[in-house]
Amino acid sequence: MCGKAFRDVYHLNRHKLSHSDEKPYQCPVCQQRFKRKDRMNYHNGPSNEKCEAAVATKDRLRAHTVRHEEKVPCHVCGKMLSSAYISDHMKVHSQGPHHVCELCNKGFTTAAYLRIHAG
């Protein structure tokens, strides 16, 4: 076909699909068709059983799922937070901000919060 070489028959056969119009895998939700099952699974993404939201990655699913968790109060200040964020929040009370924005000097308790702020 195109002369490309592959380390095994599996990858050769998978590549052959790129030269074909065949799309044997169909999304059960929107009926879009795919040449490869892994592409269809990526299209569907992991889903949330509570609201059936589909997201692209497991990390995004986790971030989305937090919305459905019951909030708990911080025992220091009373702020209501998802239990997944309580440990990060407690750093506000115990450590203070160790991650400072170089542009505006605002302090953050985690590097992740600084990255979000920096955009």
One digit per residue, the tens of pLDDT, for the chain of length 119 reads 688 888 888 888 888 888 888 898 888 777 888 888 777 777 766 555 556 566 667 777 777 777 777 888 888 888 888 877 788 788 777 776 778 899 998 888 778 888 888 88
CATH number of the domain residue 2 falls in: 3.30.160.60
3-state secondary structure 52-76: CCECCCHHHHHHHHHHHCCEEECCC
Residue 92 domain flag: no
> Which residues are within 8 A (CB) of 1 and not within 5 positions of it... i.e. 6 or more apart?
16, 19
Residue 43 domain flag: no
Number of domains observed in the structure of the chain: 1
State residue 26 phi and psi, 5-degree precision.
Answer: -120, 130
pLDDT at 118: 86
Residue 31 domain flag: yes
pLDDT at 104: 93
The β-bridge relationship of strands 80-82 and 71-73 is: antiparallel
Domain limits for position 14: 1-36
Count of alpha carbons within 13 Å of 70, Cβ hemisphere only?
A: 1
Gap between the Cα atoms of 91 and 107, Å rounded:
12
Residue 4 domain flag: yes
pLDDT at 37: 79
